[in-house]
A = this chain, B = another copy of it.
Amino acid sequence: MTRERLIYMPLGGAGEIGMNAYVYGYGAPGAERLILVDLGVAFPDMESTPGVDLIMPDMNWLIERADRLEAIFVTHAHEDHIGGIAHFYRALGAPIHARAFTANIARGKMVEHGHPPEAIVTVSAWPETVAAGPFTVGFLPISHSIPESAALVIDTPVGRLIHTGDFKLDPTPLVGEAFDPELWVDVARDGVKALICDSTNVFSPHPGRSEASLGPAIETLVERAEGMVVATTFASNVARVKTLAEAGQRAGRSIVLLGRAMRRMIEASAETGVLNNFPQVVSAEEARDLPRDSVMLLVTGSQGERRAASAQLARGKYQGLELKEGDLFLFSSKTIPGNERGVIRIMNALSEKGVDVVDDDTGQYHVSGHANRPDLERIHDIVNPEILIPMHGEHRHLREHVKLAGSRGMQGVLAVNGTMVDLTDVKAKVVDYVETGRSYLDGSVLIGAMDGVVRDRIRMALNGHVTATIILDEEDEPLGDPWCEIMGLPDSGKSNAPLVEVLEADIGQFLSRANEKTLASDATLTESLRRTVRQSAQNEIGRKPEVTVVISRMR
């Protein structure tokens, strides 16, 4: 019999920040019993994924082995950890375990997709554990920016693993449990084989600051404001929403929550009792009748999203509320790379209204939810694992974290998505690489990132599109004139004649000279017409468009 082994393999989240999905397995090679930690999504952008609704990890490897999947564990309720559970529920079919707040959010997603909410199992915090095949898994509280974030303690036949999930070391996190070093020392006391560790902030050299450090500065800012105050942050940053609401309340203002995601998070917090003493809120309708200097709006859209409350307030009214000269708008957030232009667009729109915009340039109004480099070193020291596997990071973060591990006497393993690591022995080794990628939720269809659909969309965006139609009679002779339609191209170019007429004339010329063989073959004719259109457009407007050729034969 082949010796049993313990394996780790990320399917998402290792080589990118977003769409976390980590597989652990134990058993004979190829027959391991599996668990999945987190099943998140990532968000599309116009540059690389136009029109896509959500980006998800390619779960095919696991779907093909769904019969070996014992359970799914979700560390916390952020979209990059929980967003994929309903999409893959049918394909994976395993029970999903989470703490109460996370489970509440998860059940909402299941119901939205028509799946049974009972598939979500609520688990209490460590020392409670769940048996899942050869694994015993417990949810170890850790501070982050959302209630009930947890690391996972994963006991295996060959030793204990700790999977940190997202974390920071915050003694006063406002929501969720404070970091409890003694608890962690206790869990690690008997030795930890491997620490699978968040790497997001490995390049941030200073110790992270506590959520509680923000309140006074925000309160002062709000107190000094003379008009309405608006503050935006990620709705899922429940800690920040609370910090902002409490600072507003202390400054004597009524709090209004705007944006669906904002209200959903606060509701889930209330339903599960994890958010004590959240200030009383008033509705947008009530706020309209209050003096401007007694209102503070907490709104979605900190990343410049065009449809969110922030963008709508910057453009005009939102739920009857409108910003004016002398109001104050606070971005209590960090702009995620790639979202800068959207955020700046909103800042300038607000500036045009005479609204003062404050962002986190000074470092007073935002703290990160992830452990900085010195905090990573502290958790390394507490857990003192034999092996350190960085996760939750782009390649550069993982690589830097591996270097850091090496410099501190640990065995660091660089494992990007699809890398299978054997953790059975003292020395970890890479034993396989699995094809992985991304899938896109596109409208209602799940498509592969490599299917060419998005590539064609990008090409049309860069090059424009021409439809060229010809009709051939029974003798393969052109019937009537060729017909072109353009989309995303200038109406005319060099010759000042309408572009479609230039294209049609060049197609006509081509057809008048084409031989019988060319005219008889759809494939040859399509390719020739495509080339004719592209060359004609290149001459006329200096650009080669995408071309759809339609040949109708009157046979």
Interface presence of A476 (CB below 8 A): no
- Cross-interface CB contact of A469 among B443, B447, B543, B552, cutoff 8 Å: B552
CB-based contact B48/A47 at 8 Å: no
A487: B residues at CB distance < 8 A: 456-457, 460, 465, 546, 548
User: Assuming the A-B contacts A340-B338, A550-B550, are A488 and B467 also in contact, with contact meaning beta carbons closer than 8 angstroms in the complex?
Assistant: no
- Cross-interface CB contact of A462 among B50, B347, B351, cutoff 8 Å: B50
Chain A: interface residue count, which band? 35 or more
In chain A, positions 335-364 with a C-beta closer than 8 Å to chain B are 337-338, 340-342, 344, 347-348, 350-352, 354, 357, 361
CB-based contact B352/A395 at 8 Å: yes
Partner-contacting stretch, out of A77-85, A209-217, A424-432, A489-497:
A489-497
In chain A, positions 418-454 with a C-beta closer than 8 Å to chain B are 442-445, 447, 451, 453-454
Nearest residue, chain B, Cβ from A452: B488
Number of copies of this chain in the oligomer?
A: 2
Nearest residue, chain B, Cβ from A204: B361
How distant is the Cα of A352 from the Cα of B485 in the complex, in angstroms?
Answer: 45
CB-based contact A456/B550 at 8 Å: no
CB-based contact B341/A45 at 8 Å: yes
Interface presence of A30 (CB below 8 A): no
Nearest-CB distance from A362 to chain B (Å)? Answer: 8
Nearest residue, chain B, Cβ from A484: B550
CB-based contact A490/B456 at 8 Å: no
How distant is the Cα of A492 from the Cα of B457 in the complex, in angstroms?
Answer: 16
Nearest residue, chain B, Cβ from A494: B444
How distant is the Cα of A347 from the Cα of B546 in the complex, in angstroms?
Answer: 32
How distant is the Cα of A521 from the Cα of B467 in the complex, in angstroms?
Answer: 21
CB-based contact A471/B541 at 8 Å: no
Interface presence of A483 (CB below 8 A): yes
Interface presence of A480 (CB below 8 A): yes
A494: B residues at CB distance < 8 A: 444-445
A467: B residues at CB distance < 8 A: 467, 548, 550
Interface presence of A408 (CB below 8 A): no
CB-based contact A395/B471 at 8 Å: no
Nearest residue, chain B, Cβ from A338: B341
Interface presence of A463 (CB below 8 A): yes
Interface presence of A259 (CB below 8 A): no
Interface presence of A458 (CB below 8 A): yes
How distant is the Cα of A144 from the Cα of B483 in the complex, in angstroms?
Answer: 55
In chain A, positions 307-351 with a C-beta closer than 8 Å to chain B are 337-338, 340-342, 344, 347-348, 350-351
Interface presence of A399 (CB below 8 A): yes
CB-based contact A344/B394 at 8 Å: yes
Interface presence of A171 (CB below 8 A): no
Nearest-CB distance from A313 to chain B (Å)? Answer: 16
CB-based contact B396/A543 at 8 Å: no
- CB 8 Å contact bits of A488-520 with B (1 = contact, 0 = none): 111111100000000000000000000000000
User: Assuming the A-B contacts A396-B351, A471-B471, A471-B552, are A493 and B445 also in contact, with contact meaning beta carbons closer than 8 angstroms in the complex?
Assistant: yes
8 additional A-B pairs beyond A47-B47, A457-B464, beta carbons within 8 Å, are A45-B341, A48-B341, A51-B462, A340-B340, A351-B399, A444-B494, A444-B543, A487-B546
Give the 3 A-B CB pairs with smallest separation, nearest first. Answer: A444-B542, A443-B542, A443-B543
